[in-house]
A and B are shown apart, each in its own frame.
Chain A
Amino acid sequence: MFDFLVNWLANVPTFALPYALAALGLIITEKAGVLSLGAEGFLLIGAMSGIGVLLGVGDYPLLALTVAALAAAALSLVYALLVVTLRVNQVIGGLALVFLAQGMTGVIATRAGWTSRPVDGLHTVPLGSLADIPVLGPILFQHDPLVFATVPLVALVAYVLDRTMFGLRLRAVGDGPDAADAAGIRVALTRYGAIALGSALVGLAGGYLSVGVAKIWVEGMSGGRGWIAVALVIFARWQPWRALGGALLFGGIEALIPRIAAIGVALPQYLVLMTPYLATLAVMIWICLRQDGRSLEPRALGVAHLREERR
């Protein structure tokens, strides 16, 4: 039982990381007032381009992760063009992007022959004797570099959003674009930036799925994690630290399933897979029952900004 617990906890970060990074990215985008349902698509683009670098360029996992982030950011500019400049409905734009990414990754990976080819991928950081500490070693010190970078990254995003002028402007654009506009902030430009930056993080999460975890590209390998990340952002009420907590919770549940099955306990796994969504529903209901609940949601989320609109 003890070994089971240690083994489970040691695996939680790997499962939680994609959720944490994707949710962090979505928080940046949504804090600027842009709904981002395209997360699933950005995960796929990131996952495929990461493997593409490893197979096409060589065994440079950090380069692969960088390219994964950049590829998602590049694709997100198409989304930004749609919803910021052309003011397409953000729900429809996001869904369209998911389908576009699904098709695109399928075609490119098949044409390039990247499908189902194992790669070396990301390695554990050698921490010497720290990793050999019983119990704590496997749980805390036997991880790849991205796991170690995640907590500082969450801290950085939380700090930038809450404690810098850049963050103030970004939140203003998401909470009161008219007010931000009157204050001389370039609403469209800020939203473009937030979309690209946020999507880069989602792409990084996707790259981690293929380069860091699976070490292989399979079509549709994001497996709905983008949707869970969207739910996670609502669950976390757009707050980075809570998103990290939620990611650990959801990642923990996901890590539990194969281990429980392995020790022979019959558990309805689809029911367990449902828990993130159930938890999100519960949070949403709870928020609605509380009167002040909406205060954390960016007020202009999903609303296109048009200056000379007359009301």
Chain B
Amino acid sequence: MGMALELLGVSKTFDGFQALAKADFAVESGEVHALLGENGAGKSTLMNVAAGLYRPDQGRIRVRGREVALTGPVEARRLGIGMVHQHYKLVKAFTAVENILLAQGAARYGAGLAEVEAAIRAQSEAVGFAVDLRRPVGSLSVAEQQRVEILKVLVAGAGILILDEPTAVLTDREAEALLTTMRALARKGAAVVLVTHKLGEVQRHADRVTVMRGGGIVASADPASLSAAELTTLVVGATANPVHCPATRIEGPVLAVEGLAGTRSDGLQTLYGLNLTIRAGEIYGLAGIGGNGQTELAEILMGVRRAGTGRIALAGDDVTGAGPKLRRARGLAAIPADRQVYGLAGDLSVAENYAVGGLASGRFGGWLRVDRAAIRAATEAAIAAFDIRGARSPRQKAGLLSGGNAQKLVIAREFAGRPRVVLAHSPARGLDVRATADIHRRLREARDAGAGVLLISEDLDEVMLMSDRIGVISRGRIVREFDAPADRQAIGAAMVHHA
């Protein structure tokens, strides 16, 4: 059958970050086409362009061979392109019928409701699943909400179906059922794009696979012609092995996590009985695809999110129920993923941001008096010692520092009290090569001074470079552990296979 949708040389930049670099993509009618890649590879961005939600900076789009200008989602829908987003585009207070009516548009509300309801019933019979049409979709399960989304697209008569990581929120059985349905739709002539980072799905359900990395296309092939190892290489990339500096003296455990369960802010459980031990004098790298529980683990360890069940011991003391203050007193230092939100108060000065970590020690004055001179002196010393540039004076606002220098300020503060456990969550995210090297050097120094370092990162290269031991987190558990030097392919495979 013919080409359904072609994206040619599409580029898109967000605030200076290139999300798509001349990406080409094409899907035929009658096929299930997998778009594979790591988080941040640009898959969702590319498909949002196809759905008319993002306007590309460059590039052309062809639908059924004809070049089109996608001015918005309405135009995309008119051309028969329907997208089921990762974050559902549903009005939670509305019922399924109202949601679909909203997307369909109708002249009259009452008549429209009846029409849409009939269309939903016809479509849900055709694809073989039912949804509750009367309840607000916000009260439906995630799988049901997804069905509403799919029905919405089908009722609109879409011939090109894009599903953005549809199985991420489903149980295995639900996922299998969904993918079988998609295959049936393709057999009837639809073009189905399956955005995913799961190799298994690609191998079992896709006719063709396009692999993305770093905003560009790295390959487009028949998945049957590639082995799992070859696919993994395409996804995570093959780069030269970086220089690794191993630990010199590893001692007993300083951080022990047992059977940790936890939930995300929206109530979804993301940690399922996670076990983790970190010893003094080592860097433990936690690799994994984003959204597998890393954020919740970091927040629970920092003490800003409550653990569901499980135990956390810091240097032998149980701190499971303790707040951040007690944990810090026990020797925990944290470099949060979002330095501008959790790491620093951007409107306060560099000196105030530095001093806030040491207030409890009494170094900077007591209850009533703040010793400004001591703060300024300590901050100036830290600025010099940690090479924080761009801070012309300790009184300058911390929010004006560049990413790398802001991170150095966080580290200067956190390392001031000789920590026993360092939690570093994506510490080099968004930093340039030199700043990254500086941050990494500091982490190694902390390790060599006897701290246990937990490095959580979605960047496999960073984990490989830094770690003495590597754990792979998937679906809220550590699924495999490796001793350095570890095989990159094996880690990559553990990341994607268990996902």
Given the known A-B contacts A168-B98, A308-B14, are A184 and B105 also in contact in the complex, defined by CB atoms under 8 Å? yes
**B210 within 8 Å of A (CB atoms):** no
Q: In the complex, how many angstroms separate the beta carbon of B15 from the nearest chain A beta carbon?
A: 9
| A298–B138 alpha-carbon span in the complex (Å) | 13
**Given the complex, which residues of A lie within 8 Å of B138, measured CB to CB?**
295
**Given the complex, which residues of A lie within 8 Å of B77, measured CB to CB?**
184
Question: Are A310 and B14 interface neighbours, CB within 8 A?
Answer: yes
0/1 per residue, B84-122, Cβ < 8 Å to A?
A: 010111111110001101110111111010000000000
Q: In the complex, how many angstroms separate the beta carbon of B215 from the nearest chain A beta carbon?
A: 13
**Given the complex, which residues of B lie within 8 Å of A181, measured CB to CB?**
53, 73, 89
Question: Are B53 and A182 interface neighbours, CB within 8 A?
Answer: yes
> Which of A163, A172, A295 contacts B102, CB < 8 Å?
A172
**B136 within 8 Å of A (CB atoms):** yes
Question: Are B89 and A307 interface neighbours, CB within 8 A?
Answer: no
**B133 within 8 Å of A (CB atoms):** no
User: Could you give 15 example pairs across A and B, Cβ below 8 Å?
Assistant: A164-B108, A165-B108, A167-B109, A168-B94, A169-B102, A176-B93, A179-B102, A182-B103, A183-B89, A183-B103, A184-B77, A295-B93, A295-B136, A299-B93, A308-B54
| A299–B105 alpha-carbon span in the complex (Å) | 22
Question: Are B94 and A165 interface neighbours, CB within 8 A?
Answer: no
> Which of B14, B90, B101, B105 contacts A179, CB < 8 Å?
B90
Closest to A166 in B: B109
**B72 within 8 Å of A (CB atoms):** yes
Give residues of chain A (250-305) contacting chain B, Cβ–Cβ below 8 Å.
295, 298-299
**B143 within 8 Å of A (CB atoms):** no
| A295–B91 alpha-carbon span in the complex (Å) | 12
**A178 within 8 Å of B (CB atoms):** yes
Among A167, A183, A307: residue with most chain B CB under 10 A: A183
**Given the complex, which residues of A lie within 8 Å of B54, measured CB to CB?**
308
**B74 within 8 Å of A (CB atoms):** yes
Closest to A310 in B: B14
Closest to A178 in B: B89
| A180–B108 alpha-carbon span in the complex (Å) | 18
| A235–B496 alpha-carbon span in the complex (Å) | 51
Give residues of chain A (128-177) contacting chain B, Cβ–Cβ below 8 Å.
163-165, 167-169, 171-172, 175-176
Question: Are A165 and B106 interface neighbours, CB within 8 A?
Answer: yes
Chain B interface bracket (under 10, 10 to 19, 20 to 34, 35 or more): 20 to 34
Chain B interface, >50% SS class: loop
Q: In the complex, how many angstroms separate the beta carbon of A290 from the nearest chain B beta carbon?
A: 15
Interface residue ranges, A against B (CB under 8 Å): 163-165, 167-169, 171-172, 175-176, 178-185, 295, 298-299, 307-308, 310-311
Minimum-distance CB pairs A-B, first 7: A184-B74, A176-B91, A182-B89, A183-B103, A179-B89, A175-B93, A175-B91
**Given the complex, which residues of B lie within 8 Å of A185, measured CB to CB?**
102
Q: In the complex, how many angstroms separate the beta carbon of B148 from the nearest chain A beta carbon?
A: 11
Question: Are A183 and B14 interface neighbours, CB within 8 A?
Answer: no
Q: In the complex, how many angstroms separate the beta carbon of A234 from the nearest chain B beta carbon?
A: 17
Question: Are A165 and B107 interface neighbours, CB within 8 A?
Answer: yes
Question: Are A183 and B73 interface neighbours, CB within 8 A?
Answer: yes
Question: Are A171 and B109 interface neighbours, CB within 8 A?
Answer: no
| A122–B26 alpha-carbon span in the complex (Å) | 69
| A178–B149 alpha-carbon span in the complex (Å) | 14
**Given the complex, which residues of B lie within 8 Å of A176, measured CB to CB?**
89-94
**Given the complex, which residues of A lie within 8 Å of B90, measured CB to CB?**
176, 179
Question: Are B109 and A180 interface neighbours, CB within 8 A?
Answer: no
Q: In the complex, how many angstroms separate the beta carbon of A155 from the nearest chain B beta carbon?
A: 16
| A310–B102 alpha-carbon span in the complex (Å) | 24
Given the known A-B contacts A179-B99, A183-B103, are A165 and B91 also in contact in the complex, defined by CB atoms under 8 Å? no
> Which of B53, B73, B89, B101 contacts A168, CB < 8 Å?
B101
> Which of A172, A182, A308 contacts B94, CB < 8 Å?
A172
**Given the complex, which residues of B lie within 8 Å of A163, measured CB to CB?**
109-110
| A184–B89 alpha-carbon span in the complex (Å) | 11
Given the known A-B contacts A182-B53, A182-B85, A307-B53, are A165 and B105 also in contact in the complex, defined by CB atoms under 8 Å? yes
Closest to B15 in A: A310
| A295–B305 alpha-carbon span in the complex (Å) | 25
Q: In the complex, how many angstroms separate the beta carbon of B497 from the nearest chain A beta carbon?
A: 27
Question: Are A168 and B109 interface neighbours, CB within 8 A?
Answer: yes
| A206–B99 alpha-carbon span in the complex (Å) | 37
Question: Are A164 and B99 interface neighbours, CB within 8 A?
Answer: no
Closest to A300 in B: B91
0/1 per residue, B54-96, Cβ < 8 Å to A?
A: 1000000000000000001110010000000101111111100
**Given the complex, which residues of A lie within 8 Å of B94, measured CB to CB?**
168, 171-172, 175-176
Q: In the complex, how many angstroms separate the beta carbon of A24 from the nearest chain B beta carbon?
A: 20
Q: In the complex, how many angstroms separate the beta carbon of B494 from the nearest chain A beta carbon?
A: 28
